Structure 1
Amino acid sequence: MRRFPRGRRTATAATVLTLALALATGTQATAAPDASAPAAATVRQYQVDGVATAEQRTALARTGTAIDEIGADSVVITADEADAERLTGLGYDLTALTAPTERGGPGAAAAPADYHTYAETLAAVDAAEAAHPDLVSSQVIGQSYEGRDIVAVKVSADVGVDEDEPEVLFTHNQHAREHLTVEMALYTLTELTSQYGTDPEVTALLDTREVWLIPTVNPDGKVHDQESGSFRSWRKNREPNSGSSAVGTDLNRNWAYEWGCCGGSSGSPGSDTYRGAGPESAPETGVVADFVRGRVVGGEQQITAHIDFHTYGELVLWPYGHTYADTAPGLTADDAAAFEALGTAMADSNGYTPQQSSDLYITDGSINDWLWADQGIFSFTFEMYPTSGAGGGFYPPGSVIDRETSRNREAVLTLLTYADCAYRAAGLEAEYCAA
């Protein structure tokens, strides 16, 4: 059973009933927050058959469709009826799916109250800072479109001192509906603080590293998806788009490296992979990018390694996403070898599948590509539990949170271990790592 801090709210009977009705029809409820607002289109997941290769998946993604899950010769997408009809008209073979928990998986239905709300997340950060003032320090690094604070949490011995140590960044919840990633941030914060001074490995790492956690990059989207009483399957941020009734930008297509270059995002505001009006046009992207740029001290980027947590698929991914090539401008054979070795080492600890991002399909304007190509940071994406919709899809039940966050403990520590020089993972320390 997930343990929540005092004040954790309990789902009401009405909430549970609303969710149950949504699951019974195989959809996520999309009711507007008030009766006067227009009803949102009902969305559900569809299986698209005959999509077996990275090239075929990329072709599907270029229609503006976000791919949720990949099988041997099919994919799963989320779409409303109009999108489903459009794709059928383009020749795709779609089958509407029942709710994830009705597909034979062991998971029970998740409820919004299974996960920390935005306010509860900030409260948990405040509590950690109060309990461990020598280890934890938080700061507001900017605001979302709707004015919510985006908070960065620093964890390190002598946290108040900006020491000349490798820094590691963990980002979470770029995509609104991926609430398990926020739980991952809180798990990491709790584990590092509770184990410092007790666990020799954690202690040594916090004595020689500075860790940054951004628990939610997309607070507006998180609130919208979670706090109406039923999940909405919302992905983007909540900024209106000029000249369109469609709301939101896909933050992980809005970064300022090869933005919109390669068919790996959509120029249509109504798409779940809408790249925005320009690079860093979404305020949330700009806030985090400015924070990263602000960690350049004396001309040197202090952040050396990064994980961006997502759901779902149980994958460890690395750059580049915008090209199928293993090497490309800014990514040498040695760089690629270090990414693969470190990514594989992390995957060996959590059981995920390691691969280059574009092995799935082409994406452009992603955080991984920008952090590496623009800032020289070894940047990975973790797609967390489950592997498929049978485990709950984007909404796995609260009963798995402890298990699935702690599952990444060793991977997080592995990244921290190699943060001084990632090339060591590939045996290239003589060439790249100072003595």
Structure 2
Amino acid sequence: MIFFNSADLMEEIEALVHRHPNKLSIETMESENKGYEAQVAVVTYCRDRKEDDKSMFRILLTFGQHGRELITSELALRILSILSEEEFLPKLDRKSMNSTLDKLVIKVVPMENLNGRKRVEAGDLCERRNGRGVDLNRNWSVDWGKKEKDYDPYEKNPGTAPFSEPESQIMRKLALSFEPHLWVNVHSGMQALFMPYDHRNTTPDGSSSVKMKKMVNDLNYRHFQGHCMTGSGGGSVGYLAHGTATDYIYDVAKVPMAFTFEIYGDESAPAKDCFRMFNPTNLTTFKAVLNDWSAAFFTLFKFGPQLLGLANSEESAKWVSIDDYLDGYLMSRRNRYGKEMEVFELGLQEIRSYFRLFMLSCIILMFMFCTRISKSKLQRPNAPVLPT
């Protein structure tokens, strides 16, 4: 068997953290709802433990949201092994990458859905839901509960309410407290590099969307020869998904770059052969998936900060756009006061518009004032010349 079981994989990760305390740390977050409990391990990579440095670029990666997608957690282990320098990528410029990694804080959730993973290991190889039958990628609040014509309650049960599941509660708390610049939710089932939205068949407007498109296109051609599907999840896979994590992270948590990566899929597998459909079954393919996607993630680590203009620039720490200021203010208020403050996001676009109109009005008035002064100077008569 080429895959670790869940207990052995987490043991490998804990041992890795123990061997590299100057780079890695681990914590376990817990939550409970109506007798159902969940634990989520979070590994933090940060050199010399500078996690509280606000100039650092923050990345949040989550793997294993669906129990049957075992290959995703294996990729988490590989990325952590490379970050700790126990494994290496071929053709990786280590000096350049070290310079990049010095400026990053990366939080990795290797196995978000541990309870669901245990059900898979017990023999239910098609199980994607958590320990009480809820699809964690339908349990978030953006467009929650909407059912398409092909709705399958076994596959897509959204739960009794948004964030009814402890795993989703933990991930929301982690995202809102960490405030990442970049998020990736890693799945399997196909090869794809998706950006928002999942609940619409369009991508967002604005400069952030342009940067995300540039990033996924670059990764696709640099590492996968253009074979990956790209675009919005809702516009590419043939169905809309409501209540997904990535849509919440982008729309509500206001993370500027939010992606869903699908790292493997066997379209020739029979519908009932879920293990083969979602996971490579031979060692050669297994290694190729981990190598190719590890390389893609390290490209993301390098160019993500550059695309957002937050790399190698002291000025970027000093000058903040009004949009970023407002996002940061509202995020900090929500972090402090909880879910009640999410109402502020509903008016964020209007607040931005008023600020822009105010600034534009000030510029126009300043221009008119300066023009008037210039004209008055030109029209002033020459002073008389006094006799000597």
TM-score of the superposition, structure 2-length normalised? 0.70
Matched, 1:258 2:258: no
Residues 92-144 of structure 1, C-alpha deviations (whole Å, 9 max, x = no match): xxxxxxxxxxxxxxxxxxxxx43222211221121111111100000112257
Q: State the match for 2:211 in structure 1.
A: 338
Q: State the match for 2:27 in structure 1.
A: 139
Kindly report which structure 2 residues correspond to 1:170-249, keeping only aligned pairs within 5 A, or say none.
170-194=61-85, 199-226=94-121, 228=122, 230-239=123-132, 248-249=133-134
Q: State the match for 1:355 in structure 2.
A: 231
**Higher RCO structure, 1 or 2 (CA under 8 Å, sep 6+):** 1
Quick one: distance in 1 between partners of 2:250 and 2:150?
Answer: 19
Number of residue pairs matched? 297
1:156 is displaced (CA, Å) by 1.7
Contact residue 265 and residue 279 of structure 2 kept, 8 A: no
Quick one: distance in 2 between partners of 1:339 and 1:127?
Answer: 35
**Distance of aligned partners of 1:381 and 1:417 in 2 relative to their CA distance in 1, 3 Å threshold:** same
**Distance of aligned partners of 1:408 and 1:395 in 2 relative to their CA distance in 1, 3 Å threshold:** closer
What amino acid is the match of 2:46?
S
Kindly report which structure 2 residues correspond to 1:19-34, keeping only aligned pairs within 5 A, or say none.
none
1:398 is displaced (CA, Å) by 4.9
Q: 2:173 aligns with which of 278, 290, 306?
A: 290
Structure 1 stretches lacking a partner, 5+ long? 1-112, 240-247, 296-300
1:353 is displaced (CA, Å) by 2.5
Q: State the match for 2:328 in structure 1.
A: none
1:333 is displaced (CA, Å) by 3.4
Contact residue 75 and residue 294 of structure 2 kept, 8 A: no
**Distance of aligned partners of 1:259 and 1:288 in 2 relative to their CA distance in 1, 3 Å threshold:** same
Quick one: distance in 1 between partners of 2:265 and 2:148?
Answer: 27
Q: 2:263 aligns with which of 364, 371, 384?
A: 384
Q: 2:57 aligns with which of 166, 172, 197?
A: 166
TM-score of the superposition, structure 1-length normalised? 0.63
RMSD of Structure 2 on Structure 1 (CA): 2.9
Structure 2 stretches lacking a partner, 5+ long? 270-274, 321-388
Quick one: distance in 2 between partners of 1:344 and 1:195?
Answer: 30
Matched, 1:396 2:280: yes
Q: State the match for 2:157 in structure 1.
A: 274
Q: State the match for 1:320 in structure 2.
A: 197
Q: 2:10 aligns with which of 89, 101, 122?
A: 122
Contact residue 265 and residue 275 of structure 1 kept, 8 A: no
**Distance of aligned partners of 1:367 and 1:148 in 2 relative to their CA distance in 1, 3 Å threshold:** closer
* 3-state DSSP of counterpart to 2:59: strand
Contact residue 249 and residue 276 of structure 1 kept, 8 A: yes
* 3-state DSSP of counterpart to 1:332: coil
**Distance of aligned partners of 1:232 and 1:392 in 2 relative to their CA distance in 1, 3 Å threshold:** closer
What amino acid is the match of 1:201?
S
* 3-state DSSP of counterpart to 1:272: helix
* 3-state DSSP of counterpart to 1:140: strand
1:219 is displaced (CA, Å) by 0.2
Quick one: distance in 2 between partners of 1:201 and 1:260?
Answer: 45
Q: State the match for 1:407 in structure 2.
A: 292
Contact residue 196 and residue 206 of structure 1 kept, 8 A: no
1:316 is displaced (CA, Å) by 0.5
Contact residue 319 and residue 372 of structure 1 kept, 8 A: yes
* 3-state DSSP of counterpart to 2:155: coil
Q: State the match for 1:367 in structure 2.
A: 245
Contact residue 155 and residue 210 of structure 1 kept, 8 A: yes
Name the structure with the higher helix share.
Answer: 2
